[in-house]
Structure 1
């Protein structure tokens, strides 16, 4: 039988085991000679585009991009935990045996911070004296509310320059945007979330920071009114740092920071009297702040001075003053990280945020 008459078989049938003999190498056809041309220069590699974050959502500043040039000792102080190591160990042991009430109290305060609001609430923060801790309160309250709420929160510094929010709420974009947003709101009558993001320095999550730039003029009464109305349409809660002479008519509640230092009682009494005369129905939440680790006697004296102040012309305040005790992390004056704030101070901030939001539930200038 010739090879042409043999039945065709697959390679596996002809060679059991799957091995197939290699075919003889085939001669490659010779390519026609190419015409000689001049050598072309090698293309230069295109450099990659610089990694610039989008303007609409600036990224938070890294550690080496902090806008302030500070000594290493101060940076180390800012990175310390508010509670020393021995106290944290004692808290862990106490919680392991079930005799610590902090987790339940803190969870209850955070639940109260999620109170639903119909329109944006505007909560002012003012200090009785310079260095009373108003900027720290604005930053801490804004961080607590932005952590537990899904809507937008604004942290606004309307005092002037230099802003205390810049080191406490650092962002990748150094812009302030407060004056530009106020002018836009006054010109068009309303602003939306797009305009807010275009002017504010966006922080991680849903928190927006607004401050005055170096060349901005102070805000007028018309600027503040348009700004407040615009913030109410875009943000559920706006924490606004104000000076002692600001107009309080468009606020829903006011937090007054009173430092626990000797000599601050007279300034606090004068400030509260002026607030009582100009805005008698505005809910006021005084806070005794201990930024410099003052002794307990000074804290009790500041609280006693507040208790002696009447909330109106006929009655005195019956609710105790809030407290923000000394915290090693908050006292550094740099970026606030709630994970580094001591447990007791963290609970104090959460309780103040919940009470301020509850007090701000009424109409502007009306007691809740």
Structure 2
């Protein structure tokens, strides 16, 4: 059934097949146990899929960032983009506003710009067929606006250009997922954050990661933004097995939820750890389930 099927794969396989997120033994065990799964294990993914298909009257924008330090925000952005594109019937757009080299493009299987991006002559057209010529297609229903890192590096993409050229593009899409990288305070990043209907904060599954979220929420309370956590989804990511053995995820999540935010954990995944193009058919079952739940929560909060 469409609602419970794996996320669609993007692109074609490379010379070496990427590793599966789950081991062969685990995949075989899950297949053998499938006929004996309790009904709720089958109905829950179907219910989430239906939530992700909820219609929107205007395009929703989800911004993904990290409070500080290195975190897998590009990985989370790509997983959300794949999840939205898989379940929804309208279009999904992915944007990478992170400084420096693009982290999102390689995760989506998009290398050097294969389309003109903002420099395209048809970017301001009222016809999606014209605008599509400026975009790079990832899968059915999922597009990327390429070349934004070059625009940022050359100083041609600031808050004004974002409002004038990038933001109007989102009207063609049901969901736009924006990789904002570091939670910086420059004009472009402030404009992206202000335009968001939901905000995802990505941190490592460590004590310092939890502390950084706590400091961010304290800053919001001190600066009159105490209502912002109601639009925030926190995602703790594991870059290695048992990344911080002393980290108490459940206690940290309970504290953060008191602010109004929702909290999820994205466990270690062998496929994601390769750092290359994400093949949704090869991520672990736990990653697939977590990405679907995070996407559904982002959509709920954006509405």
TM-score by shorter chain over 0.5: yes
Q: Runs of 5+ in structure 2 lacking a partner?
A: 1-9
Larger helix share, 1 or 2:
2
Q: Runs of 5+ in structure 1 lacking a partner?
A: 1-58, 65-74, 362-368
Q: TM-score, normalised by structure 1?
A: 0.67
Backbone CA RMSD of aligned residues? 2.9
Q: Any conservation in 1 of the 2:234–2:261 contact (CA below 8 Å)?
A: no
Moved more, 122-131 or 170-179: 170-179
What displacement does 1:320 show? 5.1
Q: Which residue of structure 2 aligns with residue 203 of structure 1?
A: 138
Q: Any conservation in 1 of the 2:63–2:177 contact (CA below 8 Å)?
A: yes
* Distance verdict in 2 for CA 1:81–1:62, change over 3 Å: closer
Matches within 5 A, 1:163-242: 163-171=102-110, 174-175=113-114, 179-180=118-119, 192-211=127-146, 212-214=148-150, 216-218=153-155, 219-227=157-165, 229-242=167-180
Q: Any conservation in 1 of the 2:21–2:270 contact (CA below 8 Å)?
A: yes
Q: Which residue of structure 2 aligns with residue 251 of structure 1?
A: 196
Equivalent residue for 2:237, pick from 280, 286, 289: 289
Secondary structure of 1:258's counterpart equals: strand
Secondary structure of 1:285's counterpart equals: strand
How many residues align? The count is 281
* Distance verdict in 2 for CA 1:98–1:62, change over 3 Å: closer
Q: Any conservation in 1 of the 2:118–2:134 contact (CA below 8 Å)?
A: no
Q: TM-score, normalised by structure 2?
A: 0.81
1:325 aligns with 2:267: yes
The structure having more radius of gyration, on CA atoms, is 1
What displacement does 1:253 show? 0.6
Q: Any conservation in 2 of the 1:307–1:317 contact (CA below 8 Å)?
A: no
What displacement does 1:131 show? 3.2
TM-superposition CA deviations, 1:153-206 (whole Å, max 9, x none) = 01110112211112111137634755537x987xx6x75423531222112311
* Distance verdict in 2 for CA 1:342–1:196, change over 3 Å: same
Moved more, 158-167 or 225-234: 225-234
| Counterpart-to-counterpart distance in 2, 1:275 and 1:224 | 24
Secondary structure of 1:263's counterpart equals: helix
| Counterpart-to-counterpart distance in 1, 2:225 and 2:59 | 20
TM-superposition CA deviations, 1:227-262 (whole Å, max 9, x none) = 453133111100001130221211101011111134
1:119 aligns with 2:58: yes
What displacement does 1:349 show? 0.4
Q: Which residue of structure 2 aligns with residue 34 of structure 1?
A: none
Q: Which residue of structure 2 aligns with residue 304 of structure 1?
A: 251
* Distance verdict in 2 for CA 1:244–1:263, change over 3 Å: same
* Distance verdict in 2 for CA 1:222–1:195, change over 3 Å: farther
Moved more, 217-226 or 147-156: 217-226
| Counterpart-to-counterpart distance in 2, 1:195 and 1:161 | 29
Matches within 5 A, 1:94-109: 94-99=33-38, 101-109=40-48
Indicate the structure whose relative CO is greater, using CA pairs within 8 Å and at least 6 residues apart: 2
What displacement does 1:334 show? 1.2
What displacement does 1:293 show? 1.9
